Amino acid sequence: QVQLVESGGGLVQPGESLTLSCAASGFASDYYAIGWFRQVPGKEREGVSSILILDGTTYYADSVKGRFTISRDAAKNTVYLQMNSLKPDDTAVYYCAADLGLFFPYSSHWYKPLEYDEWGQGTQVTVSS
The 10s digit of each residue's pLDDT in 34-54 is 999 999 999 999 999 999 999
Task: Check whether 33 has a pLDDT greater than 90.
Answer: yes
Backbone φ and ψ of 5, nearest 5° = -130, 115
Burial class (CB in 10 A: 0-12, 13-18, 19+), 39: middle
Give percent above pLDDT 70 in the chain: 100
Evaluated on CA atoms 19, 1, 118, 121, the torsion sign reads negative
Please report the pLDDT score of residue 2 as a whole number.
Answer: 93
The mean per-residue pLDDT over the stretch 7-32 comes to 96
Task: Quote the pLDDT of residue 103.
Answer: 85
Give dist(CA 103, CA 52) in Å, integer. 11
pLDDT per residue as tens digits for the range 75-86:
999 999 999 999
pLDDT band of residue 102 (cuts 50, 70, 90) is: confident
Nearest to 14 by CA among 86, 92, 91, 68: 86
Residue 121 has pLDDT above 90, yes or no: yes
Tell me which residue of 1, 47, 4, 35 sits closest to 22, measured CA to CA.
Answer: 4
- Residues 42-68, buried b or exposed e (16+ Cβ, 10 A)? eeebbbbbbbbbeeeeebbbeebeeeb
